[in-house]
């Protein structure tokens, strides 16, 4: 007997042709056939081979040969040949054994630093397992590697030997390490195979690693010697693909084409359709359109080289109500439950003693899974809202259980305690593998009702969750159950290590989705297609980095290092072969790929090199191919120029007038941007509470400080020189600092810096004024009002309006002349009143119409960004109330000024509206404010009521910090028909409390 090797062209249908050969050359009625082994690269190929065999045999009774995938075959040989089978452990446990094998100096007693490199070194070990050799030490590892990695490389050989001996000692093995084991067993007990093997057929392999080749050779030589048949079938044209040629050379065997009589179909070119897309939606839509159902399992194959396309595809397929079978590796990272557990781990990693980062804390309690679990429990949502409000008002960056307990009622506390225990407390003291397991178990127990309820009706989510649970059971739990994995591990008492290890397991997991291979529409991963032939084939995402895939770079397995270590260097030859055979094995092929222009977008995708090659070949050979062009079905909405004002809008505005009180910001908002006014006042959209930046928080603190301090001097003279000398203000400062709870908001360094900044800002202000006191330029300071509310009645049509404002500080100072200051506290040291613009206000002729330009003209008279509007509004209110506020009879004998109080501005802590006005101009201006300012207010009201539309701001710098950017964008791109209220289509952070014009 001799080894025979046959080639079967992919277009002749490999598996069916192989069955044809078997039917003529084997006797299926004889039980001896069960000792003939047929080995295929994948399990799916085994299923299809069996299916075709049954279909073609057309016999009532027959015996099957032994049909196994390569993985099953290796396990079978291991069990048959080994005198002492070891326990096969999940691959995820390897890293623990690896860490135990390291020399203690390499570990540096710090698992966190060595963990990453350990996972990368395991890949190096795997390479050597495939080669069946022992790695050498790398005496001169690349300089750029970190010390730990270099140290491991220098001792690679010893570490590997220790690792293998640890496996032996513990009596365990990993499936990826079986290859080398089987090779060694075969060398020792090769004749044993004759007890159970009468013949061997290797079917459809392409390239072999050294250890695999050795196994083949031992098996084949032993069988041939015993005069038993040994055949190899390659799926390739004749002459063969270069990759197969290489394999034949290594095996030292000759190839012959399978005689034509066995070929299922004569070799034929497939019909190929190319589909370039620019977005995933169109890609998926077209894919679904091409799907038609047949009961034949090889009628249609849908190939997904990357699992991520599965989700949008399945969502579309759910409507078709057809049986779908999915077989591909799917990353656990996409699963909500996995993400949720990872969020719990992150919260623990970022925890500082008993405090959690508010962001992490909130992400957990506001997680959609938790909301789904408590969907019907109103008290949960009440509690959630309470916690949200608490965090929004307190602005704590870190939060503890004690902080939360303070705001909860006893019943709420009881409920919250139970959630807290499972989501937080259980994870705080992970001192042993058992604790990790039980913390994990508790999570699953809590969410079980969610899974059980869903499992009655299978959908993609429940389907994936089922696989995920089995992943946890097989790949994660056992690792925390088996004590021998943890014995002698140098950091098994390190809590951080457990978190890190669990995070590693959850992040690197893959769900081996396994659908029924012979029924329904088949959705497969690319490698699952090996040896299959479909009538119709749709391949998604034929793009670079997807086909061929880009595996994450391992810095320990660069080409240079591989050469040093004597490992073979492969590029993409194998993928090239698989792609070619897949295309040619099908009759109609639809290749989908993205083609997006280079540059700006992150979504840039290039068609795969296989697409380029295929097109080039077909053009060269003058073969036909069709490229389908898809223009995006994008209907560009007409951009909205302004928002038409409806009668309903006018009624709402009138209802504000009816209430009587109108605030300064009511007018200011309208002047800034009428659309913003519409969102805020007419729709009542509550802007999202922004997270306060550190300097804004500090500004709020200083404001409060001066408010409290000045309140204690209300209507009393205050001396800044005295204030500076005694330390009373400092104790006030300390008390307030505590109340603000900054230690929960800032890290220790920022806390210290912020406190110093706040103290020096206050001191700076006091020093500046005490200096003026010492120089005699200030003789007396009297605090007349803090947060002083002022009103002015204005008749408007049939309404009696009350204009309203709140002045932060009202101060009377004797500076030779008596001066009244209306101060607004400002945190931003750059904000300055625009004195120069006052002239344009004096010269303003109020427009007679109410269009966009008219409003713009009025707005511009208040300086850039309406800087002066607020101060002038307060000045107006003051003048209207001067009889009560002024101690002098003639207001022209005193100076009245408005300005900003900004202690953080070290040079000018006070900035005034009037600094350089000549006395004549000043008097004219004050009179103008008292008599004419009202006219401007009335013009704004008229515009608000009578203009045809709400206009978008002309000045786009207003949009930069606008809280309504999202609805505004939405609005601009949607037509709003007259009389129809604009609907907010985004669910978000916007509440719906109609704004009070008073605020």
Minimum Å gap between C-beta 47 and ligand SF4 is: 59
CA 104 from centre of chain: 37
HEC-encoded secondary structure of 800-834: EEEEEEEEEEEEEEEECEEEEEEEEECCCCCCCCC
Q: Which is nearer to ligand SF4, 101 or 669 (CB)?
A: 669
Dihedral angle of Cα 238, 241, 243, 249, to the nearest 10 degrees: 30
Nearest to 5 by CA among 209, 205, 222: 205
Shortest separation between residue 959's beta carbon and ligand SF4, angstroms: 3
What is the DSSP track for 386-444?
HHHHHHHHH--SEEEHHHHHTTS-HHHHHHHHHHHIIIIIHHHT--SHHHHHHHHHHHH
At a CB cut-off of 8 Å and minimum separation 6, what does 738 contact? Answer: none
Find the shortest distance in angstroms from Cβ 950 to ligand SF4: 9
| Rounded Cα gap, residues 251 and 230, in angstroms | 13
| CB nearer to ligand SF4: pick between 875 and 971 | 971
Burial class (CB in 10 A: 0-12, 13-18, 19+), 388: middle
356 vs 679, beta carbon nearer ligand SF4: 679
Q: Supply the minimum distance, in Å, between the C-beta of residue 992 and ligand SF4.
A: 17
H/E run at residue 302: strand 300-303
348 vs 953 by CB, closer to ligand SF4: 953
Smallest gap, in angstroms, from Cβ of residue 859 to ligand SF4? 12
Task: Return all residues near 46 (Cβ < 8 A) that are at least 6 apart.
Answer: 38, 40, 67, 68, 69
Q: How far is the CB of 944 from ligand SF4 (least distance, A)?
A: 15
CA distances in angstroms from 149 to 100, 158, 434, 850, listed in the order given: 16, 14, 31, 73
- Closest approach of ligand SF4 to the CB of residue 983, in Å: 16
Minimum distance from CB of 323 to ligand SF4 (Å)?
49
Of residues 701 and 964, the one with the C-beta less far from ligand SF4: 964
Tell me, rounded to whole angstroms, the distance of Cα 374 from its chain centroid: 24
Cα(69)–Cα(48) distance, rounded to whole angstroms?
A: 12
Shortest Å, Cβ 707 to ligand SF4? 30
Instruction: Determine phi and psi for 65, rounding to 5 degrees.
Output: -75, 175
* CB contact at 8 A, 74 and 560: no
Helix (H, G, I), strand (E, B) or coil at 950: strand
Least distance CB 951 / ligand SF4 (angstroms): 9
Shortest Cβ distance from residue 527 to ligand SF4 (Å)? 50
Question: Could you tell me the smallest distance in angstroms from the CB atom of residue 977 to ligand SF4?
Answer: 20
Beta bridge partners of 950: 643
- Within 8 A by CB and 6+ apart from 98, the residues are 118, 121, 122, 125, 159, 163
Smallest separation (angstroms) from ligand SF4 to the CB of 675 = 4
CB 122 within 8 A of CB 143: no
Nearer to ligand SF4, 670 or 878 (CB): 670
Question: Measured from the CB of residue 646, what is the shortest distance to ligand SF4 in angstroms?
Answer: 18
CA distance 771 to 754: 25
3-state secondary structure of 301: strand
Shortest reach from residue 652's CB to ligand SF4, in Å: 17
The Cα 442–Cα 438 span in angstroms is: 6
Indicate the residue among 426 and 953 with the shorter CB distance to ligand SF4: 953
Q: How far is CA 732 from the centre of its chain?
A: 45
Cβ–Cβ under 8 Å, residues 97 and 166: yes
Q: How far is the CB of 634 from ligand SF4 (least distance, A)?
A: 23
Quote the radius of gyration of the chain (alpha carbons, Å).
Answer: 39
CA distances from 444 to 360, 418, 423, 565 (A): 20, 15, 11, 45
Which residue ranges make up the site for ligand SF4 (CB under 6 A)?
673, 675-676, 952-953, 958-959, 962, 964-965, 968
Q: Choose between 513 and 675: whose C-beta lies nearer to ligand SF4.
A: 675
- Closer to ligand SF4 by CB, 219 or 968: give it: 968
Q: Which is nearer to ligand SF4, 942 or 958 (CB)?
A: 958
Q: Contact 367/424 with Cβ under 8 angstroms?
A: no
The Cα 820–Cα 895 span in angstroms is 6
Residue 685 or 698: which CB sits closer to ligand SF4?
Answer: 685
Distance, in Å, from the CA atom of 797 to the CA atom of 945, rounded to the nearest integer, reads 12
Q: Which C-beta is closer to ligand SF4: that of 225 or that of 969?
A: 969
Instruction: Return the number of the residue (675 or 877) whose C-beta is nearest ligand SF4.
Output: 675
Nearer CB in complex with ligand SF4: 22/685: 685
Choice between 323 and 641, CB closer to ligand SF4: 641
Beginning with the edge strand found earlier in the chain, give each strand of the sheet holding 510-513 in spatial order: 510-513, 324-331, 521-524, 300-303, 536-539, 588-594, 271-277, 626-627
**The Cα angle at residue 182 between residues 181 and 186, in degrees rounded to 5:** 120
| Per-position b or e across 612-644, b if 16+ CB within 10 A of its CB | eebbeeeeeeeeebeeeebeeeeeeeeebebbb
**Smaller CB separation from ligand SF4, 512 or 637:** 637
Closer residue to ligand SF4, CB minimum distance, 715 or 992: 992
Nearest distance in Å: CB 639, ligand SF4:
12
CB of 92 to ligand SF4, least distance (A): 50
Identify which of residues 357 and 675 has a Cβ nearer to ligand SF4 in the complex.
675
């Amino acid at each position: 007997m001799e080894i025979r090797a046959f080639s079967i062209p992919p277009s002749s249908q490999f598996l069916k042709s192989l069955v044809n050969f078997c039917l003529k050359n084997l006797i299926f009625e004889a039980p001896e056939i069960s000792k003939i082994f047929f080995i295929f690269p994948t399990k799916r190929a085994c299923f299809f081979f069996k299916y075709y065999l049954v279909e073609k045999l057309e016999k009532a009774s027959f015996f099957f040969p032994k049909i196994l995938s390569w993985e099953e075959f290796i396990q079978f040989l291991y069990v048959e040949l080994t005198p002492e089978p070891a326990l096969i452990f999940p691959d995820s446990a390897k890293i623990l054994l690896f860490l135990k094998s390291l020399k203690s100096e390499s570990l540096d007693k710090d698992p966190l630093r060595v963990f990453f490199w350990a996972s990368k070194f395991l890949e190096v070990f795997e390479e050597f397992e495939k080669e069946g050799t022992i790695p050498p030490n790398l005496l001169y590892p690349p300089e750029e590697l970190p010390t730990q990695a270099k140290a491991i490389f220098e001792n690679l050989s010893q570490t590997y030997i220790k690792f293998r001996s640890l496996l032996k000692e513990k009596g365990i093995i990993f499936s990826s390490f079986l290859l080398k084991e089987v090779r060694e067993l075969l060398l020792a007990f090769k004749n044993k195979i004759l007890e159970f093997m009468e013949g061997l057929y290797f079917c459809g392999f392409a390239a072999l690693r050294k250890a695999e080749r050795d196994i083949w050779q031992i098996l084949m030589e032993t069988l041939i010697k015993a005069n038993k048949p040994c055949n190899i079938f390659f799926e390739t044209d004749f002459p063969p693909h270069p990759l197969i040629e290489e394999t034949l050379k290594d095996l030292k065997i000759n190839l012959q084409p399978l005689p034509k009589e066995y070929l299922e179909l004569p070799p034929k070119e497939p019909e190929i359709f190319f589909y370039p897309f620019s977005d995933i939606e169109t890609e998926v839509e077209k894919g679904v359109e091409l799907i038609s159902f047949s009961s034949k399992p090889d009628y249609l194959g849908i190939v997904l080289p990357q699992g991520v396309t599965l989700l949008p595809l399945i969502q579309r397929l759910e409507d078709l109500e057809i049986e779908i079978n999915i077989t591909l590796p799917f990353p656990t990272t996409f699963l909500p439950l996995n993400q949720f557990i990872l969020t719990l781990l992150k919260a623990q990693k970022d925890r500082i003693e008993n405090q959690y980062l508010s962001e992490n804390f909130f992400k957990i309690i506001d997680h959609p899974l938790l909301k789904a679990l408590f969907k019907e429990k109103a008290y949960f949502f009440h509690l959630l809202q309470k916690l949200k409000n608490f965090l929004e008002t307190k602005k704590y960056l870190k939060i503890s259980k004690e902080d939360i307990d303070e705001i909860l009622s006893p019943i709420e506390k009881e409920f919250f305690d139970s959630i807290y225990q499972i989501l937080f407390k259980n994870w705080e003291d992970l001192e042993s593998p058992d604790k990790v397991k039980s913390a994990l178990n508790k999570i699953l127990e809590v969410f079980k009702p969610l899974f059980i309820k869903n499992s009655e009706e299978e959908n993609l989510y429940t389907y994936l969750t089922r696989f995920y649970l089995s992943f946890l059971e097989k790949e994660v739990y056992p690792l925390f159950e088996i004590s021998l994995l943890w014995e002698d591990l140098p950091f098994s008492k390190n809590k951080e290590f457990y978190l890190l290890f669990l995070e590693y397991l959850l992040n690197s997991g893959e769900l081996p989705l396994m659908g029924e291979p012979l029924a329904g529409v088949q959705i497969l991963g690319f490698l699952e297609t090996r040896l299959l032939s479909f009538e119709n084939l749709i391949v998604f995402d034929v793009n670079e980095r997807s086909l061929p895939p880009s595996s994450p770079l391992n810095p320990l397995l660069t080409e240079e290092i591989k050469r040093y270590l004597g490992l073979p260097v492969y590029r993409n030859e194998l993928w090239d072969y698989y792609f070619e055979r897949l295309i040619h094995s099908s009759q109609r092929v639809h290749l989908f790929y993205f083609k997006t222009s280079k540059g700006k977008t992150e979504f840039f995708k290039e068609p795969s090199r296989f697409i380029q090659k295929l097109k080039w070949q077909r053009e060269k050979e003058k073969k036909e191919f069709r490229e389908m062009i898809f223009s995006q079905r994008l209907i560009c909405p007409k951009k909205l120029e302004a928002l038409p004002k409806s009668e309903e809008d006018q009624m709402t505005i009138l209802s504000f007038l009816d209430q009587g009180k109108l605030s300064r910001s009511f007018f200011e908002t309208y002047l800034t941007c009428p659309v913003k006014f519409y969102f805020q006042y007419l729709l009542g959209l509550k802007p999202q509470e922004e997270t306060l930046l550190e300097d804004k928080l500090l500004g709020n603190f200083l404001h409060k400080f001066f408010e409290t301090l000045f309140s204690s001097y209300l209507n009393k003279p205050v001396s800044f020189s005295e204030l500076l000398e005694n330390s009373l203000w400092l104790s006030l400062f300390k008390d307030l600092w505590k109340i603000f709870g900054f230690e929960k908001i800032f890290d220790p360094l920022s806390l210290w810096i912020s406190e110093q900044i706040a103290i020096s800002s206050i001191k700076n202000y006091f020093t500046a004024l005490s200096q003026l006191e010492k120089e005699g330029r200030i003789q007396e300071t009297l605090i007349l009002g803090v947060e002083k509310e002022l009103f002015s009645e204005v008749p408007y049509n049939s309404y009696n309006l009350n204009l309203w404002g709140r002045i932060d500080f009202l101060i009377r100072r004797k500076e030779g002349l008596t001066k009244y200051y209306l101060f607004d506290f400002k945190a931003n040291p750059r904000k300055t009143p625009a004195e120069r613009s006052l002239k344009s206000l004096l010269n303003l002729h109020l427009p007679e119409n109410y269009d966009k330009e008219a409003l713009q003209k009025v707005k511009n008279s208040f300086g850039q960004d309406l800087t002066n509007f607020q101060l002038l509004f307060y000045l107006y209110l003051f003048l209207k109330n001067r009889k009560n506020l002024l101690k002098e009879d003639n207001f022209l004998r005193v100076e009245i000024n408005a300005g900003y109080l900004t202690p953080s501005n070290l040079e000018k802590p006070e900035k005034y509206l009037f600094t350089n006005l000549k006395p004549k101009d000043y008097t004219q201006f004050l009179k103008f404010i008292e008599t004419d300012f009202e006219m401007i207010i009335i013009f704004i009201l008229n515009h608000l009521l009578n203009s045809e539309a709400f206009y978008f701001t002309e000045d786009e710098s207003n949009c930069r910090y606008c809280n309504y950017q999202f609805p505004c964008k939405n609005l601009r791109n949607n037509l709003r028909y007259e009389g129809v209220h604009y609907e907010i289509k985004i669910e978000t952070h916007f509440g719906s409390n109609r704004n009070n014009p008073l605020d």
